[in-house]
A and B are shown apart, each in its own frame.
Chain A
């Protein structure tokens, strides 16, 4: 994996994606680079990043330089979303990763984006991250595709499609359509 990051002169790469709560504690974190080899190094990074960005009011994607890395972040309710990349990378590509992650989570949590809801649906968030980045390589950034892949699997394949699931699916689709129109 280290090779992938050093020979990355040509390919955009994500070093980590973090989802922290309003006190800087982990909800979900995912590291792709071995820049932070131990858990304590990771925790230290999270803590100082959290402290540094705490004061900003990141309703839209904000950005900062941190330890020679670029960090894009966005806060909603008691959740703090972060995406880290190398300082030579295209900021807008990293922002699109954060946007994909954030919007997919919002879609999966039906717009109730807070810590409690996130913890209740932690499996969805794990799957969501798995569909966005694979060992540092961007896999997908389109919100509806990400959420779609995760949602298909949260339905029970064995069971017949019940009334409820259809209406659920319709609701999700409508919601998403409305959001795309509003953009």
Chain B
């Protein structure tokens, strides 16, 4: 690594001087022999250590043997009493991160230093020792560490506290015993000690809400001196406010006064921390926001870029939820557009775009046009997205915004940037009817000179859908047909498809399209030829002006009613045989992934080629897993796989969750186990299931997990037989049984003999909802009316007192395990009645639709009317049974 670097230095110029010129690992390792001299030369030794550190820092690595050798000779240097050298020795030891048996060599030296009279030795020895130590050694030095925490020298106390923060990750039970000392250190007069003590104390107590709340209550009254500690306190306070969120409706928020008081603190970092905390409060009111916005506004005109950035970034976030609160800062923001720091300028622009009103749009666009030419693509994308949302907000202004977008589309730019612009134009076309024709022409012009195949094909596809519906479809044909001459095969093929769509939709254009398509029959690429042939045949009518028949239209424009990912898996699994591939065998269930969506709240409405919301991957994975077990091969197809249910608490030795796979006549429990103890290897892991509370089930097979090493999850399975097609329910108790083998942490080798052990898991239930698939319908009303009203089963239920309707609706949805349709799972706040529509597929592939009507009275008693329609009356009754027994 160092080699080429040095060579370059040599060639470039001899004038640049470096003490490390021509440095080489081998030579330095030779030099390190001076550490073994009986007469130590401290200065020389320090220099050699510096060189070693330099090598490591440049990315050079030492082999195991080299590192051990260096480590042992470095330990000799503890003989020297030179303070500077000792510091370098500490650094070197930390850098080498010695193995357990090597640590023993230096332990005594470090422990001696830990009790030395020199504070500097003590502080550093603590940090080194805690860095390299393991649990057993820690108990030996615990006593000293506790003393060090309350040491009167702040450097020593900080060293012990910071080490505690790191040790808490690996040895929590030991560090938790230091609470009293840490609490004392929180009162320290030294600023940094207070900061470190508060951080550690909070981490010790973070799982205990009450304790954190008490801590905050006592400290917000007292005086915390250190600005850093004050910042921490603000974070903890907002955490407490978040968790006690329920009582906010009534008047004042607890601790708000404290946060507001911090806005007058003398340290800028505290002021900012408090202002940000206020803006992030749940359901913050304008009155609460105002003081925070005022200080942020002051920061906007600061001379320090960091302060301006921090303020504008926070205001930008506020503008998403409370645009009106930020408008006061607009003048300051506008002056930031010309800020030297482009990050600040971009944030200012996007904030302005969010807060601007209709009349200021034109002025803003003028300013932005100048600005766009000198910023990087990543900033431009941000601006484009802001403009898109502005345009959706003020549809009347579409003309100037669309012009802006088409102008920047013509300029230079990378793929991501162009894609952002195209996506924006597409969304505007969809949402603003007036913008359609103009927008489509902009896109047509763009594909005339577009270097990105992906964008060309996406635009062509979009043209095929939207183009035929315009007043004069013929004017787009030229642009599309040009593609057939000028582009690569992929684009040509998609241009052929687009032409065919025009032909199918616009009967008057059909003869001309036929001529064009026939020419494509001689294309050099077979995909292009195939498509042309296919379309010529499906459109029919031999190129006369006739109406295209319904089937062909359906074929061309109908959407595929199965998820593409599922189709792909099925096609891959299909073995060529007498039996043709049946599209109806493709599973239709779309696994929703609400967690992922929640994490990305800023996700914009997807434009062209919206990424297929990558579900089905778990379905896939499960199928692959299950098919790997021969015992399960005759169970048939999985009807439904449940979401994982945790069977252990968080942070226990072994983490186990279970997935329930429902088959027609069987149920398979898939236990996902993780071993969280590095010193253990588990073998022959199996879950012993007691099904005495589930009479209809009988165990037929189980598959143990041969070995479960640390931190690499594995699966064990247990299979049960149950009556066919019957939604049998029951409760199962689980016991994890395994053989433990101790693992030597230094070598990673397990010991020879293991011990059998058991671990109690939580119970597991198979419930009725496991037999219902979440399958949505696009038009509930149509689907509902297409089912026989005579088979409808209606009944009324009392649900007892509930907090509100939302709670009742959610309870019933999760009980039934069905898919809410048309957004009816959302109950408007404070409403007294609500109708919720559900759809699903019951085991045996029976489609079920449910209409729920809720009402709540003044005593919060909830009543529900349940109407079920399905192809099978028995299934409708089963649904009623679920509700009646739930």
Cβ of A155 within 8 Å of any chain B Cβ, yes or no, is yes
Q: How far is the CB of A154 from chain B (nearest CB, A)?
A: 5
Cβ of A158 within 8 Å of any chain B Cβ, yes or no, is yes
Q: Pick from A11, A92, A115, A149: contact of B232, CB below 8 A.
A: A11
Residues of B contacting A: mostly: helix
Q: How far is the CA of A90 from the CA of B341 in the complex (A)?
A: 18
Across-interface contacts of B46 in A (CB, < 8 A): 123
Q: How far is the CA of A12 from the CA of B236 in the complex (A)?
A: 12
Q: How far is the CA of A137 from the CA of B192 in the complex (A)?
A: 11
* Chain A residue at minimum C-beta to C-beta distance from B127: A134
Residues of A contacting B: mostly: mixed
- A-facing residues in B233-268 (Cβ within 8 Å): 235-236, 239, 268
Q: Pick from B88, B196, B232: contact of A10, CB below 8 A.
A: B232
Would A155 and B84 be within 8 Å (CB), given that A10-B202, A62-B341, A63-B309 are in contact?
Answer: yes
* Chain B residue at minimum C-beta to C-beta distance from A152: B120
Is the CB–CB distance between A26 and B57 below 8 Å? yes
Is the CB–CB distance between A29 and B305 below 8 Å? no
CB-defined interface of B810-843 with A at 8 Å, one 1/0 digit per residue? 0000000000000000000000000000000000
Q: How far is the CB of B96 from chain A (nearest CB, A)?
A: 14
Q: How far is the CB of A157 from chain B (nearest CB, A)?
A: 4
- A-facing residues in B17-54 (Cβ within 8 Å): 17-20, 42, 46-47, 49-50, 53-54
Across-interface contacts of A96 in B (CB, < 8 A): 269
Cβ of B1 within 8 Å of any chain A Cβ, yes or no, is yes
Cβ of B520 within 8 Å of any chain A Cβ, yes or no, is no
- B-facing residues in A74-95 (Cβ within 8 Å): 90-93, 95
Across-interface contacts of B228 in A (CB, < 8 A): 12, 93, 138, 141
Cβ of A173 within 8 Å of any chain B Cβ, yes or no, is no
Cβ of A181 within 8 Å of any chain B Cβ, yes or no, is no
Q: How far is the CB of B303 from chain A (nearest CB, A)?
A: 8
Is the CB–CB distance between A90 and B273 below 8 Å? yes
Could you say which of B162-170, B560-568, B619-627, B846-854 contacts chain A? B162-170
Across-interface contacts of A60 in B (CB, < 8 A): 303-305
CB-defined interface of A137-166 with B at 8 Å, one 1/0 digit per residue? 111111000000100111111100000000
Q: How far is the CA of A93 from the CA of B273 in the complex (A)?
A: 9
Q: How far is the CB of B267 from chain A (nearest CB, A)?
A: 8
Q: How far is the CB of B92 from chain A (nearest CB, A)?
A: 10
Cβ of A180 within 8 Å of any chain B Cβ, yes or no, is no
Across-interface contacts of B268 in A (CB, < 8 A): 92
Q: How far is the CA of A140 from the CA of B232 in the complex (A)?
A: 15
Is the CB–CB distance between B305 and A62 below 8 Å? yes
Can you name 25 A-B pairs with beta carbons within 8 Å?
Answer: A4-B169, A9-B235, A10-B203, A11-B232, A26-B57, A26-B59, A39-B61, A43-B59, A63-B310, A72-B306, A91-B310, A92-B307, A95-B306, A119-B20, A122-B54, A123-B49, A123-B84, A126-B53, A137-B166, A138-B195, A153-B84, A153-B86, A157-B81, A157-B84, A158-B81
A contact set with B: CB distance below 8 Å: 1, 3-4, 7, 9-12, 25-26, 28-29, 39, 42-43, 56-57, 60-65, 72, 90-93, 95-96, 115-116, 119-120, 122-123, 126-127, 130, 134-135, 137-142, 149, 152-158
B contact set with A: CB distance below 8 Å: 1, 5, 17-20, 42, 46-47, 49-50, 53-54, 57-59, 61, 81-84, 86-88, 90-91, 94, 120, 127, 131, 155, 158, 162-163, 165-166, 169, 192, 195-196, 199, 202-203, 206, 228, 231-232, 235-236, 239, 268-269, 272-273, 276, 303-307, 309-310, 313, 340-341, 343
* Seed contacts A62-B305, A72-B306, A90-B276; 17 additional CB < 8 Å A-B pairs: A10-B203, A11-B232, A25-B5, A26-B59, A29-B57, A91-B272, A92-B273, A95-B306, A126-B88, A127-B87, A130-B94, A134-B162, A137-B196, A140-B192, A153-B83, A156-B42, A157-B84
